[in-house]
Chain A
């Protein structure tokens, strides 16, 4: 893989835990790979599989979802729903030619800044190794409104 490849990763972080962990990592001046573009969601359960597919379609090489540890969900069971959805989604993505490792789900609590740093570094390295995804060429150019507006 060429050294110039700099993975683009979309992170969907739960407002109550992983996003705060990122905040903590930041205020603690930790250094980590800058490849993840973070989107704050109110819960990992808000991450509709459509959003993941949309990210891959539009150039993401990896998607990282951060939620609260099991039992800690602010909304009681949002993270369990994410667990159920993302497992099956990985199987489906593999059928569509997207390696399942490109979609990662992690439970990171608000106090785990160091863990956040490690996951960011690890995942960036892993995606760098997998190489660019490049779905663009296989996406059918479309006049259909279904494919044009973001979910």
Chain B
């Protein structure tokens, strides 16, 4: 049997997902032995025209990471969709929009105004902005266009499976590859990680009080947490109770509360609203003024609760001023 053909591509993301593939360490040898990598711009010298030359459906599995912001990313996603039997959204940006998706709290215009005109390090005397097309004596130059909003991969093309994480851990990546090789994939559209809250994987879960109530939110730089005890009970804003497990609680082992990169559990429709609900309801106060003071310690609720999922949320981002 011929080896399955695999492709990797990178859209709006930091590169951490590509790093995660490399982080498989010697596991990558197993992968390379079992599959044929036919496209991976970050590591191997293939060009877009190589993909265009393939027959439709020639790639067995395509892993795409990153959200979609530029027209070139959208075009590549569509091209890869056509050429691939399976498309896997790899990482939280491709699945839910991720950190780049927080740009939906502002507008394209505001971003351009700042980046090209107002930033203190910018000297842009002739007030130039990038244009999709520019005429020069030598001919027409083309640049990818910056879209109004950041979109997730499945708001752009059809996606078969999702691997959560910022980035996905080597464990879930290898498990997914194994499932693909064995033909043991679950129902289309599944998120390839567990469906239990992260708390179940956290060592400190046993110490979580029966009735968890907190009087004050503390920020991570203000305290040295006791790692044997539940971080949330110590007042650190940990999103473990509302976040999908599967990451082996790696951040928590290092004393870092969960920021929610593995996204919502199956029955949750809007991660941010649900996370806000869970966190707010355990605050130990019945007084409105006191509550306001306690919540002042969360200066950016949208950025905190929608950190990885704003484009995939019910509202998608900030309502545009023009309605």
Interface residues of A (CB under 8 A from B): 48-50, 52-54, 56-57, 70, 80-81, 83-85, 87-89, 91-92, 95-98, 132-135, 137-147, 149-151
Contacts and interface: CB of A to CB of B under 8 A. Distances in A.
> What 4 A-B pairs come out closest when comparing CB atoms?
A97-B319, A95-B302, A92-B301, A49-B273
B269 interface: yes
B154 A143 contact: yes
B305 A92 contact: yes
Contact of A146 (B269, B295, B300, B319): B269
Indicate the size class of the contact surface on chain B: 35 or more
B151 A97 contact: no
Given A135-B319, A150-B269, A87 B312 contact: no
Nearest to B97: A140
11 contacts: A49-B270, A50-B273, A83-B286, A95-B318, A96-B105, A97-B320, A133-B319, A138-B320, A145-B189, A146-B264, A146-B269
A48 B276 contact: no
Contact of A48 (B274, B292, B295): B274
B137 interface: no
A137 B281 contact: no
A140 B286 contact: no
Nearest to A57: B314
B311 interface: yes
Contacts of B274: 48-50
A44 to B, nearest CB: 12
A92 B276 contact: yes
Interface string B262-285: 001000111011101101110101
A80 B292 CA distance: 14
A134 B288 CA distance: 30
A89 B315 CA distance: 13
A140 B276 contact: no
B234 interface: no
Contacts of B272: 92
A139 B316 contact: yes
Given A88-B301, A92-B302, A137-B323, A49 B316 contact: no
Contacts of B283: 84
B24 interface: no
A138 B269 contact: no
Contacts of B307: none
A79 to B, nearest CB: 9
B155 A91 contact: no
